[in-house]
């Protein structure tokens, strides 16, 4: 769909994700400077993001994630894809075409928590440079929560959350790569 307004021409394209309950809507420009912001309920969305709040008004929407140049929408088990997709695509296009704000205020888009040890900094570097760009292509995001006693705790968002292949991605892909670079890592788990 292409829409032209006085301020912005917006193109929204649908992409399927590995998660059967999540669709990715790519847009033709940057909506966040960096990172991603995840919304798991209507109340959080209403406080922090006009776009996410608008999407939560659509019957059947269970979660929304805003990425650098995409939005993922996860439907509830009882949601109807025909309703969710048609309305989500239109809402995203209209909202962005009218140059409405995506987030209510400038909030920190630093995706990672945890301390600043050498191991934690190396984990963040690998996540940011190698892993997060790859999972963003599938409409997801992975953020670092903490490193403790040889275990890396990560938070899966967007299409990664609840995805049938997320365990394989976590164990085969991410855990293998982190253990290769940082031998003291024993395991990677999702929280």
Same domain, 122 and 87: no
Same domain, 13 and 86: yes
Residue 104 lies in a domain: no
Query: What average pLDDT does this structure show over 52-76?
Result: 97
Of 60, 65, 12, the residue nearest 37 (C-alpha)? 65
Question: Is pLDDT of 160 > 60?
Answer: yes
- In the prediction, which pLDDT does 5 show? 40
Mean pLDDT check: name the lowest of 17-21, 50-54, 109-113, 129-133.
Answer: 109-113
Cα separation, 62 vs 83, in Å, equals 13
Same domain, 134 and 76: no
Same domain, 12 and 85: yes
Same domain, 11 and 57: yes
**Domain that residue 154 falls in:** 118-190
Query: What average pLDDT does this structure show over 65-69?
Result: 95
pLDDT band for position 171 (cuts 50, 70, 90): confident
DSSP 33: S
pLDDT band for position 109 (cuts 50, 70, 90): low
Q: Where a domain ends, among 97, 127, 144?
A: 97
- How many structural domains does the chain have? 2
């Amino acid at each position: 769909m292409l829409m032209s307004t006085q301020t912005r021409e917006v193109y929204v394209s649908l992409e399927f994700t590995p998660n059967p309950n999540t669709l990715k809507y790519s847009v033709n420009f940057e909506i966040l400077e960096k990172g991603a912001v995840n919304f798991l309920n209507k109340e959080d969305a209403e406080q922090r993001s006009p776009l996410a709040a608008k999407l939560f008004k659509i019957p059947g929407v269970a979660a929304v994630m805003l990425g650098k140049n995409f939005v993922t929408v996860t439907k509830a088990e009882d949601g109807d894809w025909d309703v969710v997709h048609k309305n989500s695509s239109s809402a995203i296009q209209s909202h962005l075409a009218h140059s409405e704000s995506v987030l209510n205020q400038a909030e920190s888009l630093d995706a990672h928590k945890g301390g600043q040890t050498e191991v934690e900094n190396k984990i963040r570097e690998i996540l940011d440079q190698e892993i997060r760009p790859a999972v963003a292509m599938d409409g997801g995001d992975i953020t670092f929560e903490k490193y403790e006693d040889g275990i890396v705790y990560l938070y899966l968002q967007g299409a990664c959350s609840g995805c049938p292949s997320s365990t394989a991605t976590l164990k085969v892909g991410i855990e293998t790569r982190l253990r290769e670079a940082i031998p003291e890592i024993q395991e990677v788990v999702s929280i």
